[in-house]
Amino acid sequence: MNNRRLIYLDNNATTPCDPRVVETMVPYFFEKHGNAASRSHQFGWEAEDAVDYAREQIAKLIGAEDKEIIFTSGATEGNNLAIKGVFEMYAKKGNHIITAETEHKAVLDTCKHLEKVGAEVTYLKVQEDGMVNLAELEAAIRPTTILVSLMWANNETGVIQDMKTIGQICEKHGVLFHSDATQAVGKIPTMVREMGVHLMSFTAHKMYGPKGVGALYVSRKNPRVKVTAQIDGGGHERGMRSGTLNVPGIVGFGKAAEIARLEMEQDAARLSKLRDHLQAELTKLEETKVNGNEGSRMPHVANISFKHVEGEGLMMTFNQNIAVSSGSACTSASLEPSYVLVGMGLGDDLAHSSIRFSLGRFTTEEDVEDAIKLVANGVNHMRDLSPIWEMYKEGVDLTKIEWAAH
Q: Is 78 in contact with 84 (CB distance < 8 Å)? A: no
Distance, CA of 54 to CA of 255 (rounded, Å): 7
Distance, CA of 85 to CA of 75 (rounded, Å): 14
Distance, CA of 36 to CA of 236 (rounded, Å): 10
Supply the DSSP string of 217-253, one letter for each residue.
Answer: EE--SSS------SS-SS-TGGGTS-S---HHHHHHH
Residue 330 is a catalytic residue: yes
The one catalytic residue in 17, 111, 170, 330 is: 330
CB neighbours (10 Å) of residue 228?
16
Q: Residue 231 class from Cβ within 10 Å (0-12 exposed, 13-18 middle, 19+ buried)? A: middle
CB neighbours (10 Å) of residue 29?
11
If DSSP codes are grouped into helix, strand and coil, which group holds residue 332?
Answer: coil
Tell me which residues are annotated as active site: 330
